[in-house]
Structure 1
Amino acid sequence: MNIAFIGFGKVAYTLSRLIKSPDINFLTSTEKRSNDTIDLINKSNIEVYDSFREALENAEIIISAVTPSKAVKVADMYGPYCNGIYLDLNNISPDTSEKISNVVDNFVDGAIIGKIDSKNPTLFLSGENAHKLLFLNDFLNVNIISDNIGDASKLKLLRSTYTKSLSVLLIETYDLAKKLDLEDEFFDTLSITDGDDFKDKSLSRINNTLKSSKRKAEELEEILNYFNSDELDMVNAALNKLKQF
């Protein structure tokens, strides 16, 4: 089986390492890719084609792993070359999932829950063809939500509404603690109620948010565009703060 990636960042890189089977071959292209992306592709030791069209036409499964703002454009460009399943793993809204479903055959709505490089990453899937990807359960935790396109994206948005807003609040509180020279005591205090590993998890969340603030801001914009933004005061505030990082 050939699986082709559109986009090759952390998600594609990690999946290519997680899904190890002699029956699965990964494909992609360096066409119009940055030097950093090309370096990551070379580290992955996967099959590289001169063009995405060639790679996609040779694949039974296509995985789109780009930024949310490019998801529809990528589907428009490369969807016609899809001969099998088209799996979108971008943090997009259900409305965006519907748009992609309208231009791509055999579409599956996907959402990675939590960090892709965690010990047991979880993949939510929805759509009539989601069951065709159950073989991935041999490599990560696969949860089929329903046959409805958009349901996986809805759950991802709900989770992101909470986690990304909370991450911004955590950064603000941590900055206050540092100004007061009480950062260790701050984590010690919260660890009493939130567990001994709270500090390590919090610092990881802070670093991840700061490193990928632009992408996380795009994800919050997807949330505000889908839900009634007038009712999401905390999300609006988190978005404004992310844009300052």
Structure 2
Amino acid sequence: MHVAIIGMGEVGRCYAKALHAIGITLSLCEAHPSLAASELASQWGLPLNSKPDIWLKNVQWVISCVTGTQALNVVEQVTPFLSVGAGLADLTTANPATKRKAATTAKTHGISYVDVAIMGAISLNWEKTPLLAAGTKSDEFKALLESVGGRVQVIDGANPGDAISLKILRSIFTKGMEALAVELLMSAEKQGVREELYRQLKDIDETPLRNFIDMLVRTHVIHAKRRAHEVHDAKQELDAQQLPSLVLPGVEQRFNATAAMLEKNGIGVETPNVEQALSWLLANTTAAQ
């Protein structure tokens, strides 16, 4: 097996070390090498190529570890030199549209493109950091990484762009929850009721996450107007505590926007399911733009 690592930053060096340790033949590439990258290549007696070239001809896998802004450039520069049937795993943070375009570019050269999203901190778990993969040859990439102790989840039937989309969606949820948790617990701590708050949230804690978030969306399209008032009152309470919220103004805007759409075009279903609620939200949000 011959693998090329494009981009010798922290991510690239991590997987280069893991693959080198099990005897995989490596080729390395970095346009602007750091001291760490140069020392690693020197230690292994390998050239540190400055750009893609004919040296890629016999490579079976390329692992792209550059920045997201360079992701498409790498695919465009690498694919002309690869043999038909080679695989290209894109571990960058490029957005879904860029990764889909990169996949199309790779396909025109007979290269199998795999969209890979890094789902944790490389600096904490190194090659064992969870990865999410989408695209043809994802199973082969999974096997390659698992040979060095990697953890790769393949999304069955998914297309390039889906893995990074799911990473972004997860971030929307976790970062939104993080910001809300900060404000929630600061207020609870200041009032001396934090332990009791945990007990009052026990019913939520015992509800499966999918059921809970589906319930929020289903009932949102019925009760948005009333809940907007509750959000406004909660925001005023935090102001009174001298803990002005940065999160709740956006929450209030979301509820008010839904309430305004309901005034113009009611959902027409007394107890909508989540599919009906999302369909109505998407249709009316698009129409309002």
TM-score between both structures, scaled by the size of structure 1: 0.61
Query: What SS is found at the alignment partner of 1:69?
Result: helix
Structure 2 residue 129 is matched with structure 1 residue 127: no
Q: Decide whether the 8 Å contact of 1:62 with 1:82 is kept in 2.
A: no
Structure 2 equivalent of residue 226 of structure 1: none
CA pair 37-75 structure 1, distance change in 2 beyond 3 A? farther
The answer as to whether partners of 2:114 and 2:137 remain within 8 angstroms in 1 is: yes
- Which secondary structure does the structure 2 equivalent of 1:66 belong to? coil
Name 2:81's counterpart in structure 1: 81
Alignment of 1:55-70 (within 5 A): 55-70=55-70
Could you tell me which of 171, 179, 182 is aligned with 1:160?
Answer: 171
- Choose the corresponding residue for 2:104, options 88, 102, 105: 102
Percent of aligned pairs with the same residue? Answer: 25
Q: Give the match for residue 142 of structure 1.
A: 152
Contact 2:4–2:27, Cα closer than 8 Å, also in 1: yes
Deviation at 1:65, TM superposition (A): 0.9
Q: RMSD across aligned C-alpha pairs, in angstroms?
A: 3.2
- 1:71 and 1:165 map into 2 onto residues whose CA distance is 27
Q: Unaligned stretches of 5+ in structure 2?
A: 187-193, 199-249, 252-289
Task: Classify 1:17/1:55 alpha carbon distance in 2 versus 1 (closer, same or farther; 3 Å).
Answer: same
Distance of 1:28 and 1:156 partners within structure 2: 27
CA distance in 2, matches of 1:100, 1:44: 33
Q: CA deviation at 1:127?
A: 0.8
Residue identity opposite 1:103 in structure 2: T
CA shift for structure 1 position 44: 6.4
- Identify unmatched segments of 5+ residues in structure 1: 178-188, 194-232, 235-245
Contact kept, 8 Å, 1:28 with 1:46, in 2: the verdict is no
**How far has the Cα of 1:23 moved from its partner?**
4.1
CA deviations 1:204-235 (Å, max 9, x no partner) are xxxxxxxxxxxxxxxxxxxxxxxxxxxxx69x
Aligned residues: 178
- CA contact 2:75–2:105 (8 Å) conserved in 1: yes
Distance 2:118 2:132 in 1: 6
Distance 1:44 1:115 in 2: 26
Per-residue deviation, residues 147-167 of structure 1 (Å, max 9, x unmatched)? 322221111111233456677
- Provide the rounded CA distance (Å) in 2 between the counterparts of 1:46 and 1:163: 43
Which of the two has higher C-alpha Rg? 2
Q: What SS does the corresponding residue of 2:122 show, helix, strand or coil?
A: coil
Matched-pair contact (CA < 8 Å) for 1:113–1:121 = yes
Q: Relative contact order, CA 8 A, sep 6+: which one is greater?
A: 1
Query: How far did 1:54 drift?
Result: 3.5
State the 1:49 CA deviation: 4.9
Task: Tell me the TM-score normalized by structure 2.
Answer: 0.53
Farther off after superposition, 113-122 or 64-73:
113-122
What per-residue deviation string (whole Å, max 9, x for no partner) do you get for residues 108-160 of structure 1? 11111101233331111111211112322232111101232222111111123
Residues 142-151 or 50-59, more deviating? 50-59
1:118 aligns with 2:128: no
- 1:34 Cα offset (Å): 4.0
Distance 1:161 1:134, change over 3 A: same
Mark the CA change 1:165 to 1:16 in structure 2 (over 3 Å): closer, same or farther: farther
